[in-house]
C-alpha cells in the first residue's frame, strides 16, 4: 500500500518548527525549498548559505545568478524546477554538513521528493549526489552521467558555487546543463513517439473491427519501459530510506567495484 504524499505546505510547516539538530539554534530561518510544486525536475543542493539563511529561499546571491544562467543553457527557468537542499538550516560559517545532521534532516527531502514526484533529480555537488545515489563515489566521477535511483533519473552536476571559486569548473557546468537540456528534450520526444504509436495502434484496431485493449487505450499515458523498470514502490522506498533514495544500491556498488575505484577522499565541489 502506498503511503499518502504529504502536501508541501504541511512539510514546510514541519521544517519551520524543526529542532531535530543543533543547526536550529544558529539559523535566521529555515530554507525549505522553492519553485514549481509539480516540477518535472528537482534540483538538490547542499545547505543554505548566508544569503539563503537571511531570505529563506535557496540559491539567491551569486550562486543563484549562476544557477539561473546555467538553467538557461538547459532551456529551463526557475518556474520549471523545484530547488531544495539536503539540509534546511545553515551550517555555521558555511561548513560542510555533518553526517548526523544529514541523517536527521533528510527525511524532509525524501518527503519533498515523494510529493513533487519529479522525473529528473539534478544533484549539485558531493553531498546531494552521495545522499541521493547512496554512493561513496565523488561528483568528479559521476558528473554529467545519467544515473538512476528507483524510478528517478538522477543527473549529478558540480555545485554552481564551485565555479565561483574554481573557474576551471565553469566549462564542465555549462556542458552538463546543456546535456540536461538534451536529456529533457529526448524524454519529451520518446513520450511523444510512444503516444503516437499507441494512437496508431488503436486506429488500426478500430479499422479492422478489432476491439483494442485497455492497455492499448492507455498506452499513451503509461510509463515508458524505463519508468516501469525503475518504479519505486513503497517496499523499495522503505529499504532505500535507510540511506539515500537509491533502490539499486547493490548493482551500483557492484558496478563501482567492477568499473571504478571508489572515492575515499572528499572532493570539493
Q: Report the interface residues with ligand SF4, using CB under 6 A.
A: 15, 18-21, 23-24, 30, 87-89, 101, 104-105
Contact 65, 128 (CB under 8 A): no
CB of residue 109 to ligand SF4, shortest distance in Å: 9
Question: Whose Cβ is closer to ligand SF4: residue 19's or residue 266's?
Answer: 19
Contact 161, 46 (CB under 8 A): no
CB of residue 21 to ligand SF4, shortest distance in Å: 3
Taking alpha carbons only, the member of 14, 35, 37, 18 closest to residue 27 is: 18
Compute CA 187 distance to the chain's CA centroid, rounded to the nearest angstrom.
16
Express the helix, strand and coil content of the chain in percent, nearest 5 each.
55, 10, 35
Helix (H) or strand (E) holding 155: strand 152-157
Question: Whose Cβ is closer to ligand SF4: residue 19's or residue 95's?
Answer: 19
CB of residue 139 to ligand SF4, shortest distance in Å: 22
Compute CA 12 distance to the chain's CA centroid, rounded to the nearest angstrom.
18
CB of residue 220 to ligand SF4, shortest distance in Å: 41
Q: Phi first, then psi: give them for residue 124, nearest 5 degrees.
A: -105, 110
CB of residue 102 to ligand SF4, shortest distance in Å: 9
Question: Whose Cβ is closer to ligand SF4: residue 31's or residue 67's?
Answer: 31
Question: Whose Cβ is closer to ligand SF4: residue 87's or residue 163's?
Answer: 87
Question: Whose Cβ is closer to ligand SF4: residue 23's or residue 184's?
Answer: 23
Amino acid at each position: 500500500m502506498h503511503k499518502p504524499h504529504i502536501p508541501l505546505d504541511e512539510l514546510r510547516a514541519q521544517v519551520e518548527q524543526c529542532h531535530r539538530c543543533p543547526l536550529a539554534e544558529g539559523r535566521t530561518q529555515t530554507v525549505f525549498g522553492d519553485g514549481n510544486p509539480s516540477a518535472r525536475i528537482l534540483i538538490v543542493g547542499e545547505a543554505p548559505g548566508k544569503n539563503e539563511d537571511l531570505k529563506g529561499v535557496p540559491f539567491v546571491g551569486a550562486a543563484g545568478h549562476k544557477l539561473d544562467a546555467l538553467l538557461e543553457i538547459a532551456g529551463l527557468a526557475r518556474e520549471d524546477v523545484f530547488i531544495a537542499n539536503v539540509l534546511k538550516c545553515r551550517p555555521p560559517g558555511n561548513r560542510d554538513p555533518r553526517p548526523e545532521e544529514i541523517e536527521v534532516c533528510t527525511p524532509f527531502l525524501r518527503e519533498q521528493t515523494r510529493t513533487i514526484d519529479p522525473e529528473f533529480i539534478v544533484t549539485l555537488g558531493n553531498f546531494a549526489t552521495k545522499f541521493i545515489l547512496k554512493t561513496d563515489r565523488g561528483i568528479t566521477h559521476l558528473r554529467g552521467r545519467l544515473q538512476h535511483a528507483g524510478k528517478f533519473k538522477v543527473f549529478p552536476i558540480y555545485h554552481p558555487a564551485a565555479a565561483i571559486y574554481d573557474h576551471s569548473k565553469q566549462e564542465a557546468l555549462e556542458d552538463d546543463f546543456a546535456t540536461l537540456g538534451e536529456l529533457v528534450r529526448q524524454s519529451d520526444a520518446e513520450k511523444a513517439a510512444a503516444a503516437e504509436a499507441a494512437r496508431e495502434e488503436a486506429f488500426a484496431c478500430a479499422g479492422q473491427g478489432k476491439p483494442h485493449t485497455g492497455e492499448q487505450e492507455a498506452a499513451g499515458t503509461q510509463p515508458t519501459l524505463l519508468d516501469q523498470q525503475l518504479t519505486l514502490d513503497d517496499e523499495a522506498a522503505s529499504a532505500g530510506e535507510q540511506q539515500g533514495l537509491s533502490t539499486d544500491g547493490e548493482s551500483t556498488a557492484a558496478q563501482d567495484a567492477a568499473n571504478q575505484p571508489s572515492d575515499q577522499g572528499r572532493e570539493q565541489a
